[in-house]
Every structure is written in structure tokens, then in C-alpha cells.
Chains A and B, each alone.
Chain A
Amino acid sequence: MTKYILRRILYLFLTLFIIASITFFLMKMLPGTPFTNQNRLSPEQLAIVKAQYGLDQPVFIQYLRYMGGLFQGNLGTSFQFNNEPVTQLIGQRLAPSMQIGAQAMIVGTVLGILLGAVAAIRKNTWVDTLATFISILGLSIPSFVLAVLLQFYLAYKWQIYPVALWDNFQSSVLPTLALAALPLGNVARFMRTEMVDVMSSDYIELAKSKGNSNWQVVTKHALRNSLIPVVTIIGPMAVSVMTGSMVVENIFSIPGIGEQFVKSITTNDYPTIMGLTIFYSFLLILVILIVDILYGLIDPRIRLGNGGKE
């Protein structure tokens, strides 16, 4: 297992290296510089500014510099925000994104498990149909459509929550709901299939025949065994929640990294785009890695990739 984890971590850095290199050269391929529109600089001034950012060097030297900086955790400085280091920019904006992301994952997963379990226990009844309907809605409706609708009804029309504000827990409710729909639908659906399988297995029959109450059978045997495979979809779900959070943060004006990413794209702030791209990739790969390791730990029958050997 340790060997496996080490190999995966090595892969993580290799992938990040490749992503960083590709991003760097792609950004260099773009025509123009960020200073072309700025107050019509004279050639001398332009040369000074370029030298300040190291843009006068050959591309390869710039690349080495950038990668060297990356190694020390330096993502360069933003063109837009008063030369703020990109790492600092990300650091300041990480907390709100993390908060709504984590809240959405927890709310979505917990509600999804409940919904899926109820649907499986009451299989082929109206409860099941309703649960399936809800999970299809959650899966299909894009988070930004949901965000816009929630904002219109709950915030603007009925004024239960703020429209676009970031200060207390109240203001994080709507973005969380908008983002939680997808994990909810995903988990509910997965959970139902798993649970239906488990409920028809021999050990459930045994547990029932021993005279356990229905409640005990469900909580002690069925639920636990159905939960294991659900862990596998947490990784991909986290990825889609992060995707969704980019727009949802924008809609609700939350000062998070997603909103920053969109803003940097529209303002051509290349160092920030690059920094955030690498940062996002790192987060996503890390989440998937953690989920894979967790899965191996929870279910000893699965020792990923090395055929059951330690």
C-alpha cells in the first residue's frame, strides 16, 4: 500500500509538471502582452515594465525561472492586482470556496444517501419514483441554472437569503444548495442501485430470519455495506462541484478562487490564470488520490493496481 501511495504521489507531481509546462507555453503563444492597452506606454517605459516582469528574457529562460519559482511555491505576480503575488491572491480567496465546496459536498452526500436508501427500501412505490425524480433533476439541471433560480426566488422574491453577499453563514446557504444538487442526485442514484443489490443478498435474509427488526437490518447491515462503493464517486463529484463553483461564485459574488479565475480570464491576467490552473489541477488530482487511498483502506478486498499484494 505504501508503495502504491508513493507511486501515486510521484505521478501527481509528474502530471503537475506537465500541466505547468503546457500552460506556460500555451500562455506564451498568445499574441500581445498585457501592457498593450495600458495608458500608451512609451517604448522606454514598456522596456522597463517588461524587464520588471522578466518578459525581456528568452522564452526558455522565462520557463526555467517560472518552474524554479513553482518549485518553491511561487506562482509569479498578478498583472492586475497591484503586483500581488498569485499565491497570496489564492490564499486570501481559498476560504470561501472551500467553505461552500465542503458544505455542498456534505449536504449533497448525506441527503443523497438518505434519499437513495429510502428509495431502495420502498422500492417500486411512489416514494421510489419521487426519489428517482429528485435525483434525476439534481443530476441534470446545471448548477448555474439552479443558482439563478434560487437567487430569483429565495433571495429576490421572498427575501429569505441575501441576493449576493458574503459575510455570514446565511449568505452561504444559496450557493451551497445550488452546488449540492449534483452530488445529491449522483449519490442518491448510486446508493439506490447498491442498496437494492445488498437488500437481496443472503446475509440480509439471514439477518431478517434471526428476528432482527427491519430498522436494525437496514442500519446495521444494508446501509453499511452499500456505503462502501459510494466512496468511489466522491472524487468525480468533487471535481464537478469545483467546476460548478466557478460560476456559482460569480452569480452570488462570492470572493472565492472560482470567481477570481473567471475574472482573470476576462482580464487576460496570465500569471493568475496559470497559477489558478495549476492550483486547480493540484486540488483535483489530490482529491482523486485521497479517495482512491481511502477506498483501498475501507475495503480490503480492493488493493488498487497491485493484485491484492502488499
Chain B
Amino acid sequence: MEQVPKIPKEKFKLLHKKDNQAQESLGTPSLTYLQDVRRRLFSNKVATVCLILLGIMVLISVFAPVVAPHNPNTQRVEYSNLPPKIGNLDIPGFNGMQNMDGKSVDAYKAVNAPKDTYYILGTDYLGRDLLSRIIYGTRLSLIVAVLATLVDLIIGLPYGIVSGWKGGKVDTFLQRIIEIVSSVPNLVVVILMMIILKPGLVSIVIAIALTDWVTMARLIRAQTFQLKEQEYILAARTLGESSTKIATKHLIPNLSSTIIIQTMFTIPNAIFFEAFLSFIGIGIPAPNASLGTLLSDGQKAFRFLPYQMWAPALILSIIMIATNLLGDGLRDAFDPQSSD
């Protein structure tokens, strides 16, 4: 047997404890779930643009009284149906010129409007400023959307949690109710509610929320069923936490992604129904503006005054597209597996 060569003692060196730790530590700081979500959301360019766009719209709506150049309901019949004009800029389509009998006429001169009077998006048949009406209409649409979503949550969230948490007979009973409610078409419920309640903001919100909470309750229930089997819920139960505390402390935070994603799909739905009802004339009553009533007015006059139709159609479409895309982006950000 060969002898093991002797290694001199100097060759051994005590490694510093610190170096060891350095190897184990991660190069980048670890992200919390929400930070991760935010990073994924902002890396999605389309969703970011939509978020900014909606943010601007929300800001304009909140500060509508300051931003709107005129009172949306002030009528100036002498200035009715004026085309768009921005200051004295000569941009085609925004220079106050109007086609009359094949000739281009300065509509502002025709009604003897002072030089400094101009309406960026023109006026409607009662001489109301269209831009201000659109700003207030957007504000109304967003208010309806937010309120409907809130009511939706207030009914759907507890309903879903109770149904999923209790299970058994309670669940069966609650699910039967949902089955019946959901088999009645949304549209029918909304229209019936609109006929019975006085037309207005509150009725629209109630009508929309009455039909929309079902989807929310279903999703929450399914999610609760999964969550209640988790170890941390078992631990909380073993420690003797009350059901309400488990629901608020453990269930709701873990349900938040489901809630946020579903909310992003409720909002365009609510905006659509409000515009739809106002368009057929049983939504927001006159003289208040809503995107639906503005579009309906614009459609009636589009042969001679197409600008009255364009602006509300465009804004409504942009809101719908932006909320849908943002909803998609949020879903991908919260649940990366769902995207392909």
C-alpha cells in the first residue's frame, strides 16, 4: 500500500463563514407576489398603454368640472350645430368650416359668433358644447362601471365564500338560486328593472349588478373550494380562528387575483349596458349626457353633422378596447400559466 502523501498544514485554510453565505444568496432581491405581478404587467406594452389611457380618462372624469370648457347642459340655441373649431388654428375638420349646398362656409361667421368663441368638438342641436358633454358622459359611464362593480362585489363575494366554505346543504341551496337567476337572460332583467325603477343612474347600477353578481359568486365559490383544502387554512382552523376571521384574513387576500380579474371584465360589461340602455332611450334621462345618448343623438343627425356621431363612438370604443386589453394583461400578469 502506498503511503498517503503528507499535506503540509499551511495548505489548509479556514474558509470564512461569510463566503459560504455569499454563494447561497440570490443575485437579485426576491420579489413579493404583487411586485412580480406589477413587473409582468408593465412588461406587457399593450396593457401598460391601456392602463395609462384609462388613467387619463379617470383623471379627466374626476376633474370634469375643472377640465370641461363649458357647462354640459347650458343651451345656447343661437350656436346650435356648430362644427368643431380649435382657436384660430386652420386644421381641416377643426376650423369651423361646414359644407352647405356644396360650398364650404364658416359656420361660426354665419351665426355671428365672436372671434374668441369656439367649440373644440362643436355643439349639438341645442347649442351645448359637445366636448363637455363627452367628458361628463365618460364620467357617468365610469361611475356606473365602478358602482356596478362594487355592488357586484358586495353581493357576489360573501355569497361565493359562504357557499364554498359551508358546502353541503347550504351550498346546494345557494347554487339552486344561482341556477335560476342565471337562466334568466341578463338583458331581460336589466330591461324589466329599467321599466319598473325610475330611469337614472341608481336604477342602471342596480339592474347591472343584479345580473352580474352571479359570475362573481360562481368564481369565488370555486376558488374557495380549492383554498379551504390548503394547509394554512387547516392550521388556522386548528388554532381556533373563527370562520369570519379566516375569511377576511386568509381567504380574501388569496382570492384577490380572481376578484381583480373578474372586475376587469365586469367594467366593460357595465359600460356596454349603460350605453345600450341610454341608446334605446331608457337609460340616463335628459338633459344629462351619457355616451349612449350622445351616440343616439349623433346617429339621428349623421347625414349633415357626422362629427356629432364620431366623437362618442370613438370614445366608447376606446374605453371598451382599453378595458378588455387591460383585463387580458392583468389575467396574464396574475396567472402567467393562463397565457400561451
Contact = CB atoms under 8 A, between A and B. Distances in A.
A277 interface: yes
Given A141-B321, A152-B309, A247 B340 contact: no
Interface stretch (A15-23, A48-56, A87-95, A170-178): A15-23
A139 B324 contact: yes
Contacts of A288: 183
A15 B317 contact: no
Interface string A146-160: 001101100010000
Given A142-B316, A145-B295, A152-B306, A29 B280 contact: no
Contact of B298 (A148, A246, A250): A148
A152 B185 CA distance: 31
B306 to A, nearest CB: 6
Interface stretch (B153-161, B186-194, B241-249): B186-194
A22 B317 CA distance: 35
Interface stretch (B36-44, B227-235, B271-279): B271-279
Contacts of A136: 321, 324-325
B195 interface: yes
Contacts of B320: 140-142
Contacts of A47: none
A139 B187 CA distance: 18
Nearest to B299: A148
A18 B180 CA distance: 9
B187 A243 contact: yes
A266 B295 contact: no
Given A145-B316, A265-B195, A285 B302 contact: no
B127 interface: no
A197 interface: yes
Contact of A23 (B192, B279, B302): B192
A137 B180 CA distance: 33
Interface residues of B, number: 36
Contact of B321 (A14, A140, A251, A265): A140
Contacts of A144: 275-276, 279, 295
Nearest to A144: B279
Which of the four size classes fits the interface of chain A?
A: 35 or more
B196 interface: yes
B86 interface: no
B205 to A, nearest CB: 18
A140 B184 CA distance: 24
A284 B196 CA distance: 22
Interface in B169-191: 179-180, 183-188, 191
A246 B187 CA distance: 10
Interface of B: 179-180, 183-188, 191-192, 195-196, 268, 272, 275-276, 279-282, 295, 298-299, 302-303, 306, 309, 313, 316-317, 320-321, 323-325, 340
Given A137-B321, A141-B321, A247-B276, 11 more contacts: A26-B192, A26-B195, A30-B196, A136-B325, A142-B316, A151-B302, A239-B186, A242-B185, A262-B281, A266-B282, A285-B185
